[in-house]
């Protein structure tokens, strides 16, 4: 079944501009063209775009997704590199989680500097931000 870009966007819940971007970046193969020069997408495009979107929902970068797509396109290859890619991604996520937890702690400490109703001039949060030597 062939469909235009609007139908592909609707079926995958993906913005048209994003579909075009993925084409430009080589993640989606170029579609066939109609006699009127409209892009015509197939069910294979739907499936591939859903795969890409799922990867993006896992916060994978486009380079990682391209690597995974290359493995999908060559199913007889050893998948140990796929495992290694995911292991690296998991470690990156852990590192970001640790950084976010540190940020949360800094914000909680800052928030505790001001409680109740008071004038802005005595706000502990604003004073804490002014005297911050964290940068």
Where along the chain do its domains lie?
Answer: 1-77, 80-135
Q: What is the pLDDT of residue 126?
A: 82
DSSP-derived secondary structure for the chain: --B-HHHHHHHHT--HHHHHHHHHTTSSPPPEE-TT--EEB-HHHHHHHHHHHHHHHTT--HHHHHHHHHHHHSTTS-THHHHHHHHHHHHHHHHHHHHHHHHHHHHHHHHTT--SS--GGG-HHHHHHHT----
- pLDDT by position in tens, the chain (length 135): 899 999 999 999 999 999 999 999 999 999 998 888 888 999 999 999 999 999 999 999 999 999 999 999 999 999 999 999 999 999 999 999 999 999 999 989 888 878 777 777 778 888 788 865 555
What was the pLDDT predicted at 102? 97
CB 12 within 8 A of CB 46: yes
Architecture of the 1-77 domain? Orthogonal Bundle (1.10)
pLDDT score, position 125? 81
């Amino acid at each position: 079944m062939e469909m235009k870009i609007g139908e592909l966007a609707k079926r995958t819940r993906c913005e048209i501009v994003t579909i075009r971007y993925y084409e430009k970046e080589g993640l989606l193969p170029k579609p066939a063209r109609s006699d009127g020069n409209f892009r015509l997408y197939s069910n294979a495009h739907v499936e591939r775009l859903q795969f890409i979107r799922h990867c993006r929902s896992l916060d994978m970068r486009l380079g990682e997704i391209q690597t995974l797509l290359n493995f999908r396109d060559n199913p007889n290859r050893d998948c140990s590199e796929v495992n290694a890619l995911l292991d690296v991604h998991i470690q990156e996520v852990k590192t970001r989680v640790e950084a976010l937890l540190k940020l949360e702690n800094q914000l909680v400490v800052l928030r505790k500097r001001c409680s109740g109703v008071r004038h802005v001039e005595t706000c502990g949060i604003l004073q804490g931000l002014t005297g911050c030597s964290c940068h």
